[in-house]
Structure 1
């Protein structure tokens, strides 16, 4: 075998290992950021009326800058962290619902977040080309928190809307249907989070993409 060819193959193998290591490190870093933000004040932007969650931002960044699998892994980390909150009592709503239907909380906390990351990653990959390349960062940045709310509240209504606890919450908004309940409870917050996700997540993704020379 030609020594030059052998050396070239070894170099490619080392390069492949380097890329794999970089992928793992970047994914682990954003998983850590997701968990830290999910458990500290860093995951929210306080306002006089609402606490705006930005925990979906690192999930969106993973989906756009690293790839769909990394985004799904970060979404899974987000969901597991939320589910742990239901178990240890730190998540008031999910902790209460866990006593009613543990499986429903599993779907609401974990499956919904994984599905959110998967769909957002797919949409981003689909539109990240041509004239929509720049816009794709902002679309994905907005879509991640929007779908997070949609899948989370959709699962919550699917499993818990007819329970006494959720019906009590719905009565506070004079909501007789799941849609009215969702709009009344999180409509304003979901809209604000989508705007923040669009601006913050989209801008960070575009800037980091150029800095890291990502396509």
Structure 2
């Protein structure tokens, strides 16, 4: 009887995980193809799609984060085909490297957020601050990994150098700070506050029975 109970409990968790992951994928797709997902600026697009990626990574785990991050990355790459002027410019320079900048970086964001959150959650006795810290980390990783890949693969291109020239021929470090300054100021608080609050609530509601067993 006990073995059956454990099996049932495990199957329920798997179903809840699958349902929640599917819900997060649907949200990512909705945000990707509506104005909900991006705030367009003169430079990079401010992406809010990191929020559902962070939520899934925190309430389900690194594997879900990896899947959600990959979906985010694929939709980001799709944006390069005419929906994002910046992405279209990169695609015109090198499609393969543009794919690398868009997809693996976002996949890593989801996976690393889940891994790091697990460690933070163990240190948070009241299980409150960890969700907001996890949300902030997801946005920070998204900025660092995307910009790191962009600089690594496209820094010496005429397109990026023309942007740099228009803002004063800055060093790489200064360019990154200037280029993503506004984006980071919007993305990080949004993912921290919204992602943290939603993750905490969903974890409590969806997994209350399992956590009490």
| TM-score normalised by L of structure 2 | 0.87
In the alignment, which of 93, 110, 117 is matched to residue 86 of structure 2? 93
- Describe the shift of the 1:165–1:46 C-alpha distance in structure 2 as closer, same or farther (beyond 3 A): closer
| 1:135-174 paired onto structure 2 within 5 Å | 135-174=129-168
Structure 2, gaps ≥5 residues long: none
2:117 to 113, 124, 127: 124
Q: Which runs of 5+ in 1 are unaligned?
A: none
Deviation digits for residues 150-196 of structure 1, max 9, x if unmatched? Answer: 11111111111110011011112213322221111111221221112
Residue 55 of structure 1 deviates from its aligned partner by: 0.9
| Structure number with larger C-alpha Rg | 1
8 Å CA contact 1:173, 1:185 repeated in 2: no
Which position in structure 1 is the counterpart of 2:22? 28
Partners of 1:46 and 1:210 lie apart in 2 by: 34
1:134 aligns with 2:128: yes
The reply on whether 1:73 has 2:80 as its aligned counterpart is no
1:57 to 38, 48, 51: 51
Supply the RMSD in Å over aligned alpha carbons: 2.3
Q: Which residue of 2 aligns with 1:112?
A: 105
Structure ranking higher on relative contact order (CA contacts 8 Å, 6+ apart) = 2
Instruction: State how far apart, in whole Å, the 2-side matches of 1:159 and 1:22 are.
Output: 40
Does the C-alpha gap of structure 1 residues 205 and 186 become closer, same or farther in structure 2, counting only changes over 3 Å?
A: same
User: Is the contact between residue 31 and residue 49 of structure 2 (CA under 8 Å) also seen in structure 1?
Assistant: yes
| Mapped contact 2:124–2:130 kept (Cα < 8 A) | no
1:84-107 per-residue CA deviation (whole Å, 9 max, x = no partner) reads 222x32121122111211221111
Runs of 4+ in 1 over 6 A off after TM superposition: none
Give the drift of 1:64: 0.8
Q: Distance in 1 between matches of 2:61 and 2:45?
A: 29
Structure 2 contact 62–112 (Cα < 8 Å) conserved: no
Aligned CA distance change for structure 1 residues 122 and 14 (closer, same or farther; 3 Å) = closer
Shift of 1:57: 0.6
Q: Tell me the alpha carbon deviations over residues 108-134 of structure 1, each in whole angstroms, 9 at most, x when there is no partner.
A: 100110111122211111110244632
Residue-pair matches, total: 206
